[in-house]
């Protein structure tokens, strides 16, 4: 919201009443995503969004809302980077193989400790 001009005209409802519906609860997430989509449409500018550790939120109870979040962000000019341990059913479903980069990293000091595999979901729809 800080990137919006102090005063501007829009057909989207950015009223105080609508903003008050966003209260941080799971019940408010659908309205939060609709509001986010409206704000991204109004901004109409290139942004970078990094979601680190999406797998921590990804389970049966959150799958639908996470899919909606990914779809909302992908509709905008936002460049996206999701990091996971590779076990995100949401990203498996919504991100193509061409948009994924899998990195396996070893401990640089040469010990036998192996860092967990990370999957980075990349999106670059900008010209």
Show me where the domains of the chain are located. Answer: 46-123
∠ CA 104-109-114, rounded to 5°? 35
* Euclidean distance between CA atoms 20 and 38, whole angstroms: 15
pLDDT tens sequence across 5-25: 666 788 999 889 999 999 988
Q: Is residue 127 very low, low, confident or very high in pLDDT (cuts 50, 70, 90)?
A: very low
- Tens digit of each residue's pLDDT (9 = 90 or more) over 78-96: 899 998 887 788 888 898 8
Is the pTM of the predicted complex or chain greater than 0.85? Answer: no
Exposed (0-12), middle (13-18) or buried (19+): which is 82, by Cβ within 10 Å? buried
Q: What is the mean pLDDT of residues 42-50?
A: 87
**Rounded Cα distance, 51 and 63, in Å:** 15
């Amino acid at each position: 919201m800080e990137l919006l001009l102090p005063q501007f005209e829009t057909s989207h409802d950015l009223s105080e009443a609508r903003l008050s519906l966003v209260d941080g609860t799971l019940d408010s997430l659908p309205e939060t995503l609709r509001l986010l989509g409206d704000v991204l449409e109004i901004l109409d500018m290139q942004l970078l969004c990094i979601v680190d550790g999406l797998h921590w939120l990804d389970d049966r109870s959150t799958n639908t809302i996470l899919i909606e979040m990914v779809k909302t962000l992908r509709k905008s000019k936002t460049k996206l980077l999701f990091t996971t341990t590779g076990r995100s059913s949401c990203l498996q479903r919504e991100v193509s193989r061409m948009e994924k980069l899998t990195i396996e990293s070893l401990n640089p000091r040469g010990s036998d400790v192996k860092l967990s595999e990370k999957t980075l979901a990349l999106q670059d729809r900008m010209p």
